[in-house]
Amino acid sequence: MKMTQLSATAAAVEKITPLVPEAPQSVMPRAVQVVTAALPVLGPDAAWGTITLPHADRHRRRIRLATDDGRAFLLDLREAVRLADGDRLMLDQGGHVVVRAAPEAVIEAETADRRDLVRIAWHLGNRHVPLAVTTHIVTPRLRISRDLVARDLLGRLGAHLTETVAPFDPEPILGAAGIAAGDEHGHSHGHHDHGHHDHGHAMKASAAVDLVGGTGADTARAAWQIGNRHRPVQVVDGWRIRASDEPLVRRIAAALGLRVLPAADAFEPEPGAYADHGHHH
């Protein structure tokens, strides 16, 4: 009889104060994949938000971030990726976050002669200075982060400089490991001057090719990429550069949409600091 009374009392209490289930803990969305801006959005995937970051903060692997309207998410990639303006961070819960390049202090360089601009692009690549090639009306311009050493280099190379504030979205580095792999070196060399080596001798025409771009901007990009891998170039004109005929050069040309033609003349490399300088990649 006693047990029956206890059971009845417990049932009555349960009716008055029913058990409340614990609220499930919210799980922070994780960005687990990067889709480049060049690829279209597939299916019903929708933008969850945008995140605006300066260049220095767009090379990440795992970090807690927040969208421009304050919603937190975790960037959780298998390896560090250089994020470009327009790239999309795909969330594991659906949707994506669009990356935007924040305005920052930059230097823009231009020259009266397009050949000089291509030479400067090669020198910047040879020193591993991040570079964005922009087009102002029809004239290519070179944009770098504001830096006193780099500004001095540009001045010595004869560029007209303008300091301004603008988004900085540098060219991706195309490396010897393969264009698709996105070889990024993985470290910074800083803006140091290597010892200049004047290679006055000419290379045989059969060992060189001409890379021909549709615009001066295409040629400047190719010169920067080749310089970044410490290969010499010869600037033939604002739309054509000459380089050693090797697989790396041909892959860079293909990735940038430049035509590769047999060199009609001997290869006379530009004087500069393109020889091996002791760093190992």
Superfamily of domain 30-101: Urease metallochaperone UreE, N-terminal domain (2.60.260.20)
Domain at 105-262: CATH code: 3.30.70.790
- pLDDT beyond 70 at 162: yes
Task: Take residue 48 and report the two structure tokens written for it.
Answer: 């969850």
Give the model confidence (pLDDT) of 53-94 as tens digits: 999 999 989 999 999 999 999 999 999 989 999 999 999 988
CA angle 237, 242, 247 (to 5 degrees): 145
Give the model confidence (pLDDT) of 225-253 as tens digits: 999 999 999 999 889 999 999 999 999 99
Distance of CA 5 to the CA centre of its chain: 75
User: Residue 169: which of 252, 100, 88 has the closest Cα?
Assistant: 100
Give the range with max mean pLDDT: 119-128, 180-189, 191-200: 119-128
CA distances from 131 to 33, 69, 74, 212 (A): 25, 30, 29, 20
pTM for the model stands at 0.75
User: Residue 196: which of 107, 96, 87, 269 has the closest Cα?
Assistant: 269
Distance of CA 127 to the CA centre of its chain: 16
- pLDDT beyond 70 at 278: no
Domain ranges of the chain: 30-101, 105-262
At 137, is the pLDDT very low, low, confident or very high (cuts 50, 70, 90)? low
Mean pLDDT across 180-208: 45
The amino acid sitting at 41 is V
Start-to-end C-alpha separation, the chain: 85
Mean pLDDT across 127-141: 84
CA distances from 41 to 11, 67, 77, 104 (A): 56, 19, 20, 28
